A and B are shown apart, each in its own frame.
Chain A
Amino acid sequence: MKVMAQMSMVMNLDKCIGCHTCSVTCKQAWTNRTGMEYVWFNNVETRPGLGYPRTYQDQEKWQGGWKLTKRGRLTLKAGGRWKKLASIFFNPKLPDIHDYYEPWTYEYDMLLNAPAQEHTPVAKPKSLLTGKDMKISWSANWDDDLGGSTATMQQDPVLQHMSSHVAEELEKTFMFYLPRICEHCLNPSCVASCPSGAMYKRAEDGIVLVDQDQCRGWRMCVTGCPYKKVYFNHKTGKAEKCTLCYPRIEVGLPTVCSETCVGRLRYLGLVLYDADRVGEAAATEDEQDLLAAQRSVLLDPHDPEVVAAARREGIPDDWIDAAQRSPVWRLISDYEVALPLHPEYRTLPMVWYIPPLSPVVDVVTSSGNDGEDGRTLFAAISQLRIPLDYLAGLFTAGDTAPVERVLRRLAAMRSFMRDVNLGREPVEETASAVGMTGDEVQEMYRLLAIAKYEERYVIPTAHAEVADDLEEMACSLDFEGGPGMGGQGMDGAGPFGSSSGQPTPVAVENFHALSSRQTADSPYGPSTPGRVNLLNWDGNGRPDGLFPPDEPGSDAPREAS
Chain B
Amino acid sequence: MELSAAEILLWIVVPYACLTTFVVGTIWRYRYDKFGWTTRSSELYEKRLLRLGSPLFHFGLLAVIAGHFVGLVIPESWTHAVGVTEAAYHFLATWLGTLGALLLVSGLVILVYRRRSTGPVFLATTRTDKFMYVMLAASILSGTWATVHTQILAGGFGYDYRQTISPWFRSLFLLQPEPALMVGVPLAFAVHVTLAMLLFAVWPFTRLVHAFSAPVTYPLRPYIVYRSRDAATGGGTRAPRPGWEPSTARRKQR
**Does B126 lie within 8 Å of A202, measured CB to CB?**
no
From A192, A205, A468, A496, contact of B33 by CB (8 A): A496
From A129, A131, A238, A470, contact of B38 by CB (8 A): A238
**Does B229 lie within 8 Å of A216, measured CB to CB?**
no
> Hey, which chain A residues are within 8 Å of B38, CB to CB?
215-217, 236-238
From A96, A216, A218, A469, contact of B44 by CB (8 A): A96
Of A80-88, A334-342, A387-395, A437-445, the one touching chain B: A80-88
**Does A214 lie within 8 Å of B240, measured CB to CB?**
no
Is there a chain A Cβ closer than 8 Å to B225's Cβ? yes
Number of residues on chain B facing chain A (CB within 8 A): 60
Asked whether A501 and B58 contact (CB < 8 A) given A81-B218, A197-B221, A211-B232, the answer is no
Is there a chain A Cβ closer than 8 Å to B35's Cβ? yes
Cα A485 to Cα B228 in complex, Å, equals 33
Cα A549 to Cα B215 in complex, Å, equals 58
Cα A469 to Cα B239 in complex, Å, equals 10
**Does A234 lie within 8 Å of B124, measured CB to CB?**
yes
**Does B123 lie within 8 Å of A129, measured CB to CB?**
yes
**Does B225 lie within 8 Å of A129, measured CB to CB?**
no
**Does B218 lie within 8 Å of A188, measured CB to CB?**
no
> Hey, which chain B residues are within 8 Å of A466, CB to CB?
229-230, 233
Is there a chain A Cβ closer than 8 Å to B184's Cβ? no
> Hey, which chain A residues are within 8 Å of B130, CB to CB?
none
- The winner among A199, A200, A480, A494 for most chain B CB atoms within 10 A is A200
From A90, A129, A217, contact of B45 by CB (8 A): A129
Of A141-149, A293-301, A471-479, the one touching chain B: A471-479
Per-position 1/0 for A466-502, Cβ under 8 A of B: 1011111000111110001100000000111101111
- The secondary-structure label for the interface of chain A is loop
**Does B36 lie within 8 Å of A496, measured CB to CB?**
yes
Per-position 1/0 for A203-244, Cβ under 8 A of B: 111000101111111110000000000001011111000000
Number of residues on chain A facing chain B (CB within 8 A): 73
Of B47-55, B68-76, B84-92, the one touching chain A: B47-55
From A130, A211, A214, contact of B119 by CB (8 A): A130
> Hey, which chain A residues are within 8 Å of B238, CB to CB?
479-480
**Does A216 lie within 8 Å of B230, measured CB to CB?**
no
From A129, A201, A202, A214, contact of B120 by CB (8 A): A129
Closest beta carbon of chain B to A554's beta carbon, Å = 27
Is there a chain B Cβ closer than 8 Å to A503's Cβ? yes
Closest beta carbon of chain A to B55's beta carbon, Å = 5
From A76, A469, A484, A502, contact of B253 by CB (8 A): A484
**Does A90 lie within 8 Å of B50, measured CB to CB?**
yes
Closest beta carbon of chain A to B9's beta carbon, Å = 28
Closest beta carbon of chain A to B119's beta carbon, Å = 4
Is there a chain A Cβ closer than 8 Å to B236's Cβ? yes
Per-position 1/0 for A57-89, Cβ under 8 A of B: 000000000000000000010000110110011
Is there a chain B Cβ closer than 8 Å to A195's Cβ? yes
Which single residue of chain A is at the shortest CB-CB distance from B59? A89
Is there a chain A Cβ closer than 8 Å to B46's Cβ? yes
From B36, B51, B59, contact of A92 by CB (8 A): B51
Cα A372 to Cα B182 in complex, Å, equals 94
User: Which of A347-367 touch B at CB < 8 Å?
Assistant: none
**Does B226 lie within 8 Å of A96, measured CB to CB?**
no
From B51, B126, B228, B240, contact of A204 by CB (8 A): B228
Closest beta carbon of chain B to A376's beta carbon, Å = 48
**Does B44 lie within 8 Å of A203, measured CB to CB?**
no
**Does A468 lie within 8 Å of B225, measured CB to CB?**
no
From B45, B54, B206, B236, contact of A96 by CB (8 A): B45
**Does A129 lie within 8 Å of B119, measured CB to CB?**
yes
**Does A94 lie within 8 Å of B36, measured CB to CB?**
no
**Does B41 lie within 8 Å of A232, measured CB to CB?**
yes
From B34, B41, B54, B224, contact of A237 by CB (8 A): B41
**Does B34 lie within 8 Å of A213, measured CB to CB?**
yes
Cα A332 to Cα B250 in complex, Å, equals 52
**Does B58 lie within 8 Å of A202, measured CB to CB?**
no
- The winner among B36, B230, B236 for most chain A CB atoms within 10 A is B36
User: Knowing that A129-B123, A237-B38, A495-B205 are A-B contacts, what are 9 other residue pairs whose CB atoms are under 8 Å apart, sorted by A's residue number?
Assistant: A89-B54, A94-B43, A129-B119, A200-B232, A201-B227, A469-B235, A484-B253, A500-B36, A502-B35
Q: B residues engaging A (CB < 8 A)?
A: 32-47, 50-51, 54-55, 57-59, 119-120, 123-124, 126, 128, 205-206, 210, 213-215, 217-219, 221, 223-230, 232-238, 240, 247-249, 252-253
Could you list 29 examples of A-B contacts with CB < 8 Å? A81-B218, A89-B54, A90-B50, A130-B123, A187-B224, A196-B218, A201-B224, A201-B226, A202-B228, A203-B226, A203-B228, A213-B37, A216-B38, A216-B213, A217-B210, A218-B215, A234-B42, A236-B38, A466-B230, A468-B236, A471-B235, A471-B236, A478-B248, A484-B253, A496-B128, A499-B36, A501-B35, A503-B237, A505-B237
Closest 3 CB pairs of A and B: A500-B36, A195-B215, A237-B40
